Amino acid sequence: MLYHLFEALKEYDIPGQGLMSYLTFRAMMASVTAMVISLIIGKRIIRWLQKKQIGEEIRDLGLEGQMQKKGTPTMGGIIIFIAIMVSVLLFADLTNIYTVILLFTTIWFAGLGFADDYIKVFRHNKEGLSEKAKLMGQIVFGLGLGLTVCFSPDIVVREKIQMEDGAARESTRTETALQDGRNTAATGVQASQTLDIDTEFKVKSGEWKEEDVVKSTKTTLPFIKNHEFDYKWLSPFKGTFGWYCKWAIYVLMIVLVITACSNGTNLTDGMDGLTTGTSTIVVVVLGIFAYLSGNIINAQYLNIMYIPGTGEIGVFMAAFAGALIGFLWHNSYPAQVFMGDTGSLMIGGLIGVCAILIRKELLLPILCGVFFVETLSVMIQRSYFKYTKKRYGAGRRIFKMTPLHHHFQKEGVQAVIMKPARALPEAKIVVRFWIVGVILAVLTVALLKVR
């Protein structure tokens, strides 16, 4: 709203008005605002949750310090939700298609998680929302997002168009843009402002061709030419039917990513600060990717896909990171509040949607490696238990307990693999998972420079 207010008052010479046109300034302001909101309203919401006795029921699983958490209020994801919504509405461009999608994602998954928490807390049903209902909500949203990506004229990428002599037209034009940017910078104006594609990407003086900006099923994947993978390569058909087939494959991938991310964060949410801290690392990296992908100079230098308009995603993700950091103040060990499914499903949904919009979804197994391994541990444990029960008459386990973070916390029966010498304190496990998350984040960024 502040962004649009200053845009409407452009004709008036208000001191500092020009700052609102910079993505970096708005991103910083959104992040700080979200952080402050989380810190301030967090205390009040926690007191209200305690007063209403909205606490999550704790089952005794034999874990050290587990029963001490009994009575800790849940549904703290409300804090993250409010912080994100307020800061984004203040500083983001609300006419940008990517901002609208991310706002809708926030509302959808927060609502889905809130329904689950409400059933657990107020209806005293430990199971909460059924797995089928959760899955249906995720699939429906994924299909909706997939169709939006397919048919919205505002969601496009700039492809490398080849000229008759075989030279890449994009390279030539990018060099021209780079030179224009240098000349502009010499006069004291930032090149990024001249090439501010997050606010305008139009055909100017024949320099840019309309056919350069197209609907595409391409995404980013390291170790291949130009770091670009096209889902049409998976289609066994060509022609018109092949066109429909490639988009169908892309939509199915979108549904898979959304479902995997939201469930992955939900499974990881089992220790104080674990999901919050790990998610913050992922969100920061995705925000950087969004900013770089939306700037033609940076995209060309890093040889990543150039996607007009994604700079606004950087503003949203900055607000998201600020909200998470502010929430971590209350959620760090020993936690004053749990985020509940209201927070975990929302976080996972936003991570998945952001990765899809900036065409980085195939990097998620590395970037979100902690979530990926946590989910994988549950799948392996369940499959192995069912297999051994059917074959030997008694189920066997690979891990002491899943998700994986509880394996390192559990004492007692030895597991087949991953045998720690002793049970580790919860705080130490959380910090070590954060360290692993940072390593994976650095590795993900480094992969973009691998030719």
Q: Which tens digit of pLDDT belongs to each residue from 150-204?
A: 999 899 887 654 333 344 444 333 333 444 444 433 333 333 333 343 333 333 3
In whole angstroms, give the CA distance from residue 257 to residue 263: 10
Residue-wise pLDDT for 33-55, tens only, equals: 999 999 999 999 999 988 877 76
CA distances from 30 to 33, 134, 164, 314, 340 (A): 5, 31, 46, 10, 24
Q: Which amino acid is located at 383 in the chain?
A: S
Structure tokens at 192: 């990024």
**In the chain, domain spans:** 24-156+244-377+430-447
The pTM of this model reads 0.86
Q: Mean pLDDT throughout 399-413?
A: 79
Q: Is 16 helix (H, G, I), strand (E, B) or coil?
A: coil
CA 66 to chain CA centroid, nearest Å? 29
CA distances from 170 to 161, 213, 214, 299 (A): 6, 11, 13, 12
In whole angstroms, give the CA distance from residue 376 to residue 430: 18
Q: Mean pLDDT throughout 318-323?
A: 97
pLDDT score recorded for residue 177: 41
pLDDT score recorded for residue 207: 42
pLDDT score recorded for residue 126: 78
Q: Is residue 229 within a helix (H) or strand (E), and if so which, with residue range? A: strand 228-230
Q: Is residue 238 within a helix (H) or strand (E), and if so which, with residue range? A: none
Q: Is residue 243 within a helix (H) or strand (E), and if so which, with residue range? A: helix 239-268
Q: How many CB atoms lie within 10 A of CB 68?
A: 10
In whole angstroms, give the CA distance from residue 348 to residue 142: 13
The H-assigned helical ranges of 195-310 are 239-268, 274-293, 296-302
Residue-wise pLDDT for 252-273, tens only, equals: 999 999 999 999 999 999 899 9
Q: Is residue 32 within a helix (H) or strand (E), and if so which, with residue range? A: helix 23-51
Structure tokens at 50: 């305690």
User: What DSSP character marks residue 19?
Assistant: G
